[in-house]
Structure 1
Amino acid sequence: MKPLVRNAALNSYVELSQSLGIDPQVLMKSVGLDPVGLTVQDRWISGVAAAQLLELSAAASHREDFGLLLAERRRFANLGPISLVIREEPDVRSALGLLMRHDYMYNEMLRGRVSEANGLATLKVGLELGEAMEARQAKELAVGAFHGILRTFLGARWQPVSVCFTHSAPKDLSTYRRIFGRMVGFDREFTGIVFCASDLDTPNAMSDPLLRNYAQQYFESIAVSRDTTVPDRVREMIEVLLPSGRCSIEQVASSLGVDRRTVHRHLAGSGETFSSLLNATRTELAEQLVANPRRSLTEISGLLGFSGPSGFSRWFREQFGSSPRQWRIGRVGQQPSGEE
């Protein structure tokens, strides 16, 4: 299976695109991404589709610095739950080490490695997309994001010794020099950031020693295996695609960067089918949504991918033995006194 990335990797993509005069929805749909699903930061999307989207956006906006402009809008919190743990690490070295050991928790195609020699530290950044394709914008987004993380720890005035890219230089270097300083090189042997090794031992001013143990305990409770199963990935994709009304095995396979036969084969090996996962996911979500009296049944039917309330009601009765409205009334009646 090809790598996935969290929706947060495209944080502020819509706003940036609109500011540059291009239509983000049209471009997203052209690579099989759902504009509505993008608002859920912790959902996963195809890494290949995300990289393609950035290339198309750069071309449409005539901005070779599109990925870098997007990186400039990133926030520390866009790393997701792991950001809560990293901010409590005692120094830059341990924070970067934790971030790179668990990169699969926020971006499965990103590979970062730090080495030290002659007083310098080199942070090399690579992407493993699973296929040969242009990914200039994704690389610049990744380097820009790492640069922003380092500045979070080292201060807004911190500058690297140099920033390197394996691809050729853009026509306009102004954005690169504004963000990285004047020591930006292209057509280099690696993509990454070179900085003083002593920066790695800089104490983390954000860290609170009293909170570190709590942060580590929290991290242990949320940490997942690097070997995420195919059913888990399919389940994630189903949940993302249901509200779009386009939750088919073809769309899920496309989002995962494979064909439908590959999805069928992996699910069969786990004793599952696409239909069984779709129904199980819908059932779990329906139970949560219908129990909330603030959501209308029409709204819920759309969130679960039904074309209308009648189809949703028939399906719900088959699963729960009553209509959604009757089931909701029964649940409200079972709540302890004083609860809505």
Structure 2
Amino acid sequence: MKPLARYAALHSYVELGRSLGIDPVELIREAGLDPAGVSMQDRWVPAAAIADLLERSARASGCEDFGLRLAERRRFANLGPLSLVIRDEPDARSALRIMSRHEHMYNEAVHTRVTERDGIATIRLVLDLGGPGDARQSTELAIGVLHGLLRGFLGTDWQPLEVRFAHAAPRDTGTHRRLFGPHVTFDQDFHGILAYTTDLDAPNAMSDPQLRVYAQQRFDAAPSTQTTTTVDRVRELIELLLPTGRCSAEQIARSLGVDRRTIHRHLAAEGETFSSLLDDTRAELAQHMVASRRHTQTEVAELLAFSSPGNFSRWFRKRYGCSPTQWRTAAGAGGSNIATR
């Protein structure tokens, strides 16, 4: 499976695109992405599609610094749950260590590595899109976000010793120098940021020791593996697509940048099928929706993509041994009589 990234990577993309006179919605479609999905920050899509969108946007707007302009609009929160931990780390070194170790939680294509020698810290960044393709804008977006993270810890007056890019310089380096300072170089052997090691030890003024303990406890409770399985990816997309009426193996395959047979093959290797995942996800959602009383039975049937309330009711009774009405009544009485199996 190709590396995925969260839609959060495109935070403020639509606003930036419109400010530069391009049609962001049309460009999103041309890149094979869903315009309606951009607002779903935690939805995963192929990282290569996001990279393609940024390249198309740079060409359409005539802005070679499109990725950097987007980076300027990013916030800690765009890193998702990881931001809660990073914000309260005691220093920049600790934050970088956490981010590098768990970067798969926000972008599977981004890989960072920190080395220190003779008082200089080198933060290297590699972008792996799973295949060929131009990644200039995505790389500059990632470096810009990394630089913004460091400034959040070290103060807005902080400047790196050097910011390096492996690609050639743009015609106008004004945005690069405004954002990074005077020491920006191109045609280097890697992408990255150089800083004094003492900078990484500077105390984090944002850190709250008590909140840090709480955030780490919540964070550590989540699965720590860096391998996101196909089952995890498909289950998440089923939850997102069910209410849209477009939850099919074909649509999920397109969202993951592969064909339908590839999805079935990967699921089979993990002991699952699309049908079983769809049914199990429906069951989990149905329990909560029926018990919550926020939706009528007709609305629940529509949200879970059943053809009629009657079909939903028959499926529910077969699954749980009681009707949705009986389940809701039992839930309102405290749930002691809810039948499960």
TM-score (norm 2): 0.88
Correspondent of 1:327 among 315, 324, 328: 324
Q: Structure 2: 5+ residue runs without aligned partners?
A: 335-341
Counterpart-to-counterpart distance in 2, 1:52 and 1:300: 37
2: CA distance, partners of 1:328 / 1:25: 42
Q: Which residue does the alignment assign to 1:169? A: 169
CA distance in 2: counterparts of 1:146 and 1:313, whole angstroms: 50
| Residue identity matched to 2:269 | G
Give the CA deviation at 1:301: 5.6
Map 1:232-311 → 2, pairs under 5 A: 232-295=232-295, 303-305=303-305, 311=307
- Asked if 1:118 corresponds to 2:118, the answer is yes
Aligned equivalents of 1:261 and 1:297: distance in 2? 34
Counterpart of 2:91? 91
**In the TM superposition, what are the counterparts of 1:48-87 in structure 2 within 5 Å?**
48-87=48-87
Q: In the alignment, residue 44 of structure 2 is paired with which amino acid?
A: W
Closer/same/farther in 2, CA of residues 18 and 209 from structure 1, 3 Å limit? same
1:115 to 1:234, Cα distance in 2 relative to 1, 3 A: same
Q: 1:336 to 1:248 in 2, by over 3 A?
A: closer
**Relative contact order (alpha carbons < 8 A, sep ≥ 6): 1 or 2 greater?**
1
Matched, 1:102 2:102: yes
Give the alignment's TM-score, normalised by structure 1. Answer: 0.89
CA distance in 2, matches of 1:132, 1:233: 23
Deviation at 1:128, TM superposition (A): 1.2
Instruction: Read off the aligned partner of 1:195 and give its amino acid letter.
Output: A
Change over 3 Å in CA distance of 1:301–1:187 after alignment to 2: farther
SS of residue in 2 equivalent to 1:41: coil
- For residue 19 of structure 2, what is the amino acid of its counterpart? S
2:56 aligned counterpart, secondary structure: helix
Contact 1:34–1:244 (Cα < 8 Å) also in 2: no
Q: Which runs of 5+ in 1 are unaligned?
A: none
When residues 55 and 314 of structure 1 are mapped into structure 2, their CA distance, relative to the original with a 3 A threshold, is farther
Relative distance call for 1:275 and 1:22 in structure 2 (3 A) is farther
CA, structure 1 residues 135+245, in 2 after alignment: closer, same or farther (shift >3 Å)?
Answer: farther
Query: In 1, Cα distance between the equivalents of 2:63 and 2:130?
Result: 26
- Of 196-205 and 27-36, deviating more is 27-36
The residue correspondences of 1:140-155 to structure 2 (distance < 5 A) are 140-155=140-155
Structure 1 contact 33–255 (Cα < 8 Å) conserved: yes
Q: Secondary structure at the match of 1:111?
A: strand
Answer with 261-270 or 275-284: which moved more.
Answer: 275-284
Q: Percent identity?
A: 57
Task: Give the alignment's Cα RMSD to 1 decimal.
Answer: 2.3
For the 8 Å contact 2:76–2:87, the answer to whether it is kept is no
The alignment of Structure 1 onto Structure 2 pairs a total of residues equal to: 330
Do structure 1's residue 317 and structure 2's residue 316 form an aligned pair? no
Shift of 1:110: 0.5
Q: Which moved more, 1:134-143 or 1:246-255?
A: 246-255
Shift of 1:303: 4.3
Quick one: structure 1 residues 26 and 242, their matched pair in 2 at CA, closer, same or farther if it must change by over 3 Å? Answer: farther
1:123 alignment partner, SS class: strand
1:193-220 CA distances to partner (integer Å, 9 max, x unpaired)?
1112210111111122233322221211
1:34-87 deviation line (CA, Å, top 9, x unaligned): 222222222222111111111112122222111111111100111111111122
Amino acid at match of 2:146: F
Evaluate the alpha carbon distance shift between residue 320 and residue 167 of structure 1 in structure 2; reply closer, same or farther with a 3 A threshold: same
Structure 1 residue identity aligned to 2:59: A
1:193 aligned counterpart, secondary structure: strand
Shift in CA distance, 333/263, structure 1 to aligned 2, threshold 3 Å: closer
* Distance change in 2, residues 1:182/1:229 (3 Å): same
Conserved? CA contact 1:105–1:224, under 8 Å: no
Deviations 1:135-188 (A, max 9, x none): 111101100000000000000111111111111111222211211112211111
1:319 maps to a residue whose letter is W
1:136 paired with 2:132, answer no
1:189 aligns with 2:185: no
Amino acid at match of 2:128: E
